[in-house]
Structure 1
């Protein structure tokens, strides 16, 4: 049965949801408060990484977060502030930082990430997209034995989950990346990972959706939701009032603001990430994560992207120069020949990633509302999980059997 669907949010999750909903014959409208050309879906590292099987809420992370709280250049920075929602989130996050949660979450993350990889490829082929999609794997470069040992444990865990991964020596790193000097004592190499250039896919997807009749309302903020008998009967923006059979909440870090209007308190915090793009000829051909610095490097179409940090400091787009400089310094430490310019650093951009307390996204319906499907909270894995999330959203609304077990993603799960 054809339905009218309004998607709140035009990032990767919203666009992929629209794609699969249109394939099912539904009428789709996307509303976004931005111009649909910026944010986390555009400034991310472009990874499609089933290797990232450890959720952010892993053992020891909260301890590190407290240690780094007063160090603005640290990989994870939680800005000290008295905020009720932050305190609730931090409490739930800390409860999730245990080995049992990691073991339960790893196969869940693997499954949704592998499905997403396949779906990205399917879309690229079926719609003749030209966006970059490379299968060169991912290097986890290490400069200390401690981090190398940790990464090699990850290799074994990944292999046990059926993912292609192995340890590599400095000589093997050189063989993989012969055109640039790398300062590392070893690495983990996850051949299972792929990468892309985000803005290319986003641009082609928006063009495709427009072509197949999806309506876009850009620069339009949703201000209120009208709820009656557990049904959203109207959406109010600053410009108009709309209604639809089904609503999809894919507004990223802004999702809790709207969910509160129907009595659903989603625990989410905005985690700011930064990127520096460089058009210098560097010789990097394989994406890498600089393990000690927690920074990412991706060879994209026509440029190299350096990205990273997780700054939990509320919803804002302020560029913290200290954190930008930390990424640039990390690049120099691991790739001695690289010197990012002042202009490249001055043109750094940021995006807000919605972080749930347990590192898993919210995907599905809540008992609070019958016609609202939530798709938010993917943290750093929004790009990796985007297409699979969109497919599942469409399956929920079309009353089809889900391609994934949705229990771990329930918006009503307890922390």
Structure 2
């Protein structure tokens, strides 16, 4: 029997949850504080990347973060601040930066990412979506021997997990990307990766859900939850009060604020990323990551996107031009013939990615609440893990066997 479900958050995770819940026969309502046309779900690199098997909390990351703390143009910037939630997150993040955690996380990241690839394609085929989707793999371009060593290690890890990946030399890179000049000493190539154009899929998904009767309330922020005896009965927004049988918290970086309403202190920080688009014909045809600069390059439908940086500095939509310029500078250093102009940089945008301390998402129910399913904390992998997360949320609420082992994503896991 179908249930009434309210989803808090209309990003890619919320929409995918709405899709699969509708397919299971539930009556679904989506609430979002924005107009649902901007943010991380729209400005990301569009990767569906099983190759990203190493979580953000990897050995050496905290050391790099401390070194980069005073460099505003660094790939990772952690703004120090006297905030209890932030300090608890940093402590848990530091504890997770160890080889054992990376080894345990790899399989979970691979499984949810590969399932998401399959489901993206299934949705597009089933609903006749026309949004851009390609299987061209992903190049990791290196300019230093240190980066090469790290990327070759990544290839070995990927191969051990059954993913198609290999080391490539300059000749190989030229064969893969023949029409653009690249400054690199070599790199790796992950044939297992796919890419897409995010806003196209988002727009088609919204249109489909509206057509089949999913209700949307936009520009309406949830302010409170009516919670008693282990259950949520109502959500109170700026404009209304909504009741339901089940609730889904997929509000990205804002999820931790609402989880406190049920006594759940979800360790979560916002990681800001930036993107620059160019409509000029620049002949890049294969996605790439500029290894040292941590900049992603994606040939999308009609334009090319350059995305990157991780700025952990709280909830803010402020555009830091220093970081935008750092992305543009890196692009020119790896692709000497490409120079992003001032107009393109001025039209840059940012989005906030929800970061858990161990780099794995939160998916499931907490012991604090019987009828709340949480789906957040995907870090840079929200797009890669989105459709699988939506399906898992639907399986939880529909009391079905989960497609994947949910243990690595448990809400109440200890850090």
- TM-score w.r.t. length of structure 1: 1.00
* Alignment match, 1:360: 360
Deviation of 1:200 (Å)? 0.1
Matches within 5 A, 1:27-106: 27-106=27-106
Distance, in Å, in 2 between the alignment partners of 1:259 and 1:360 is: 18
Structure 1 position 48, deviation (Å): 0.1
Deviation at 1:76, TM superposition (A): 0.4
Give runs of aligned pairs for residues 326-365 of structure 1, distance below 5 A: 326-365=326-365
Q: Which residue of 2 aligns with 1:228?
A: 228
Q: Which residue of 2 aligns with 1:267?
A: 267
**Rounded Cα–Cα distance in structure 2 between residues aligned with 1:125 and 1:384:** 18
In structure 2, what is the equivalent of residue 178 of structure 1?
Answer: 178
Tell me how far apart the structure 1 counterparts of residues 287 and 98 of structure 2 sit (CA, whole Å).
29
TM-superposed CA distance for 1:80, in Å, is 1.8
- Structure 1 residue 204, shift from structure 2 partner: 0.1
Q: Deviations over 1:230-262 (max 9, x none)?
A: 000110001001110000000000000000011
- Residue 325 of structure 1: how far off its partner (Å): 0.2
Please give the secondary structure, in 1, of the residue aligned with 2:121. Answer: helix
1:246 is matched with 246
Q: Output one character per residue of 1:129-156: Cα deviation in whole Å (capped at 9) or x when no partner.
A: 0000000000000000110111011111
How many angstroms apart in 2 are the aligned matches of 1:246 and 1:309? 36
Q: Distance in 1 between matches of 2:369 and 2:145?
A: 50
Deviations 1:28-58 (A, max 9, x none): 0000000000000000000000000000000
Instruction: Give the match's secondary structure for 2:124.
Output: helix
1-side partners of 2:314 and 2:113: how far apart?
A: 27
Paired with 1:65 and 1:85, the residues of 2 have a C-alpha distance of 18
Alignment of 1:255-334 (within 5 A): 255-334=255-334
1:248-301 deviation digits (Å, cap 9, x = unpaired): 000000000000011000000000000000011111000000000000000000
Matches within 5 A, 1:193-212: 193-212=193-212
Between the aligned partners of 1:335 and 1:261, the Cα distance in structure 2 is: 49
SS in 1 for 2:219: coil
Instruction: Name the SS of the counterpart of 2:305 in structure 1.
Output: strand
Shift of 1:345: 0.1
Q: How does 1:111-150 map to 2 (within 5 A)?
A: 111-150=111-150
Q: Which residue of 1 aligns with 2:398?
A: 398
Q: Partners in 2 of 1:49 and 1:414 — Cα distance?
A: 27
- Alignment coverage as a number of residue pairs: 415
1:151 corresponding residue in structure 2? 151
CA distance in 2, matches of 1:146, 1:237: 51
- Kindly state the Cα deviation for residue 27 of structure 1 after the two structures are TM-superposed: 0.1
* Post-superposition CA distance 1:146-203 (Å, at most 9, x none): 1011101111110110000011110110111111000001010000000000000000
How far has the Cα of 1:372 moved from its partner? Answer: 0.1
CA separation in 2, counterparts of 1:267 and 1:329?
Answer: 34
SS at match of 1:324: helix
Secondary structure in structure 2 of the residue aligned to 1:189: strand
Partners of 1:135 and 1:184 in 2: CA distance: 23
In 2, Cα distance between equivalents of 1:349 and 1:244: 35
Give 1:70 deviation, angstroms: 1.0
> What secondary structure sits across from 1:30 in the alignment?
strand
After superposing on structure 2, the runs of 4+ consecutive aligned residues of structure 1 that deviate more than 3 Å are: none
Q: What CA RMSD, in Å, does the superposition of the two structures yield over aligned residues?
A: 0.4
